[in-house]
Chains A and B, each alone.
Chain A
């Protein structure tokens, strides 16, 4: 997609059914989630996902800027998804392009769907996502990082939001596209799941999927999200759980 007229399309699924990086069709890339790496932010998280590196920070609830956006009976969620100039092969012009603005909008709406906004009237919960190194699926990595950052900031939410992209590559429905699969595949469908309700709060798609393929893609994405959900919870446990033997030793001393 986005490569009309490009000269060569690489073979994305090998004769053994494996993908270019050796993954099976329903296999995720390696994911590492770290909660709370930043000192100044109210909450933060870092996600390394395949060759993606994404940092997220949360500030708030705090005063709304600009003020006219303030809502009397609830908090608003503002999001800024930004890609660093050096995050892609060809230097990207710094600042928010139209793609980043659209992604910022749908991510803010996804989080506003799960945050208990009515608990913090007239405030803003500001979510900042910085893509430091990009290799497809950056908005999903950003949502995963931002969810953990929101939890790290102590913002009450219905649930964390695991997120993943499903796609169609070499005629097959595959989980978690990497760059070549995104560029030369036949469809890309990023989503974010509320595990508690099983509902999707972010859903986008581009490419070609028949109705049965769409059904399979949604199901595969939900399964993927649930696997990522475990890693997100573990990251929070790693940050906040106290090692029991150590506590006992301290009590004894």
Chain B
């Protein structure tokens, strides 16, 4: 049986299950997979986190370096987010220049970090218009079992919450201090399967999916970023309902990140 036929059968099955309010892995429609956060996974990074959402594994490493501020923001540091969908993580990822899919993950995570002000960029100023910290957030997807946007965002926030500013290494001070994390944005992704809107989709569900919506929330009950992706559509009323669901998932996951933070 060709892969295409197998995929077709699986897709039909996923959609039929969803119509009865069920999912392939036995979860409820609004049930998130188990999440584990392992901060400090990479010793060579200034901050890092290995995150599992079910079988999905994403690693984020943070590195800080002194650099030059942008001319239009002389009193702020620089934040750079990059996600790599390395070929080891999925049979459908290939080597080569970043695929639009990877660029989308980077930009959606970056948007949430920026809008929520996860780190206060003004705190990264060393001397105005001359020197500031550049904060590199590098995300490696290691095992793509679905919902890499949420996993990447969780990894980035967790890593930032456990990042040390390497002031000693760059001879800027006698001691290192932790990077202050102001607000933690949590991204929650939903997929449309027929009329059902399921949270935290697996790869099989993403294959069958008829529209994907990611909603990032902060602890002050704001929506800070959204991204609709893939082919499909959402009614405004559905978006409002999904925002309420995103707040609930966000609060629960935020507590896990904050709970583990120093």
Contact = CB atoms under 8 A, between A and B. Distances in A.
B240 interface: yes
Interface string A100-130: 0110111001001100000000000000000
Interface in A229-243: none
Contacts of A222: 236
Contacts of A13: none
Given A200-B236, A203-B213, A102 B72 contact: no
Given A206-B111, A218-B240, A4 B234 contact: no
A165 interface: no
Contacts of B106: 98
A104 B69 CA distance: 29
Interface residues of A, number: 39
B115 interface: yes
A205 B100 contact: no
Given A6-B72, A204-B228, A105 B114 contact: no
Contacts of B115: 1, 206-208
Given A98-B106, A98-B107, A101-B100, A208 B226 contact: no
B243 interface: yes
A215 interface: yes
A201 interface: yes
SS class of chain B's interface: helix, strand, loop or mixed? mixed
Size band of the B side of the interface? 35 or more
B225 A205 contact: yes
Contacts of B225: 205-207
B247 interface: yes
Contacts of B104: 102, 105-106
Nearest to A114: B233
Interface string B131-171: 00000000000000000000000000000000000000000
Interface stretch (B32-40, B43-51, B73-81, B84-92): B73-81
B233 A204 contact: no
B229 interface: yes
A5 B75 contact: yes
B7 interface: no
Contact of A201 (B98, B222, B233): B233
B208 to A, nearest CB: 15
Interface string B1-25: 0001000000000000000000000
A83 to B, nearest CB: 16
A113 B212 CA distance: 12
A3 B228 contact: no
Given A109-B231, A206-B114, 10 more contacts: A4-B122, A6-B72, A106-B228, A198-B235, A201-B233, A202-B228, A203-B239, A205-B223, A207-B224, A214-B243
26 contacts: A3-B72, A3-B73, A5-B73, A5-B125, A6-B73, A98-B106, A105-B103, A105-B104, A106-B228, A106-B229, A109-B230, A109-B231, A113-B232, A197-B233, A200-B234, A201-B232, A205-B223, A205-B227, A206-B115, A206-B225, A208-B223, A208-B224, A209-B222, A210-B221, A211-B243, A214-B239
